[in-house]
């Protein structure tokens, strides 16, 4: 009887052991799943947090952007209030300018040029000119800027005058003479006028810039002694030269 009881007890324990093992394994698996979920959730939250810019980063971006804006505005204001130019500064401005539309389109005015160096001789040799024609001497235009104490080009022109004397008008930085003529024509010439500019152009560069920014010349009067000059040959290609 005792042996039978022990046999049944051993059998019962054997039957219980697999169930206990399964139970233990189930608990371990459940714990592992819960841990994995917590880890994944924690990692996801951390990743999401890292993907977003921190408050400090946003502040730094704002500060840098503001600094750049302030510096740019300051630079613009500095240029805006500038009242005079050195020769180097003027050249930088000229190089940075975009090509402008001419003040007058073909047919709006009669723009004539002559390399005769003064108005008196030009009027004497250009006998067929309209008495109402406006004669302009670039030397007078430039001198007006040099002697104006409030003119932005005064300091630059004074420096050039100190080196070259009365001939300083023919030694201006490239483009400056045309720039001053543009301003003069804009202020003193109207549509329908007949204009003669004496002692101009002195070179092909000035001729090209002038026609691009002021008006296309209808003709140019040149002394016969200058018939082989580059300026004369340039305008002769479009049949605009009158030799006197």
Give residue 131's pLDDT band: very low, low, confident or very high (50, 70, 90): confident
- Cα 64–chain centre separation: 23
Model pLDDT, residue 15 = 44
> Which residue has better confidence, 160 or 86?
160
The rounded mean pLDDT for the chain is 75
Cα 232 to Cα 240: distance, rounded to the nearest angstrom: 9
- CATH code of domain 94-243: 3.40.50.300
SS3 243: strand
Give residue 204's pLDDT band: very low, low, confident or very high (50, 70, 90): very high
C-alpha to C-alpha distances, 3 to 12, 13, 229, nearest whole angstrom: 14, 15, 140
Is a pLDDT exceeding 80 seen at residue 154?
yes
Give residue 179's pLDDT band: very low, low, confident or very high (50, 70, 90): very high
CB atoms within 10 A of CB 8: 10
Is a pLDDT exceeding 80 seen at residue 128?
no
* Span 63-76, average pLDDT: 49
Cα 146 to Cα 169: distance, rounded to the nearest angstrom: 10
**pTM for the complete prediction?**
0.60
Cα 12 to Cα 200: distance, rounded to the nearest angstrom: 126
Cα 10 to Cα 20: distance, rounded to the nearest angstrom: 15
* Span 144-148, average pLDDT: 96
CB atoms within 10 A of CB 116: 22
Model pLDDT, residue 206 = 94
Of all residues in the chain, what percent carry a pLDDT higher than 70? 58
Edge to edge, what strands does the sheet with 110-114 contain? 134-136, 194-197, 110-114, 219-222, 241-243
Which is it for strands 219-222 and 241-243: parallel, antiparallel or unpaired? parallel
What is the C-alpha end-to-end distance of the chain, expressed in Å?
155
SS3 98: coil
Buried b (16+ CB within 10 A) or exposed e, 23-62: eeeeeeeeeeeeeeeeeeeeeeeeeeeeeeeeeeeeeeee
> Which residue has better confidence, 21 or 143?
143
Domain residue spans of the chain: 94-243
Place of tokens 């204001």: 77
């Amino acid at each position: 009887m005792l042996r039978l009881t022990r046999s049944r007890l051993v059998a019962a324990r054997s039957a219980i052991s697999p169930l206990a093992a399964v139970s233990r394994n189930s608990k371990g698996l459940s714990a592992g799943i819960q841990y994995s979920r917590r880890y994944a959730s924690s990692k996801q939250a951390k990743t999401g947090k890292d993907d977003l810019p921190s408050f400090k980063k946003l502040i730094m971006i704002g500060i840098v952007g503001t600094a750049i804006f302030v510096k740019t505005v300051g630079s613009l204001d500095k240029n805006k209030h500038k009242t005079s130019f050195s020769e180097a500064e003027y050249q930088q401005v000229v190089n940075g300018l975009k090509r402008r539309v001419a003040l007058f389109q073909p047919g709006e005015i009669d723009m004539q040029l002559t390399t005769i160096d003064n108005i008196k001789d030009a009027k004497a040799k250009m006998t067929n000119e309209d008495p109402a024609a406006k004669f302009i001497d670039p030397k007078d235009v430039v001198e007006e800027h040099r002697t104006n104490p409030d003119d932005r080009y005064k300091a630059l022109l004074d420096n050039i005058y100190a080196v070259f004397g009365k001939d300083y008008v023919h030694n201006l930085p490239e483009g400056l003479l045309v720039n001053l003529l543009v301003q003069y024509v804009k202020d003193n010439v109207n549509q329908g006028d007949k204009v003669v500019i004496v002692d101009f152009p002195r070179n092909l560069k000035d001729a090209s810039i002038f026609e691009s920014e002021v008006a296309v010349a209808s003709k140019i009067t040149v002394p016969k002694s200058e018939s082989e000059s580059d300026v004369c040959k340039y305008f002769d290609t479009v049949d605009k030269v009158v030799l006197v």
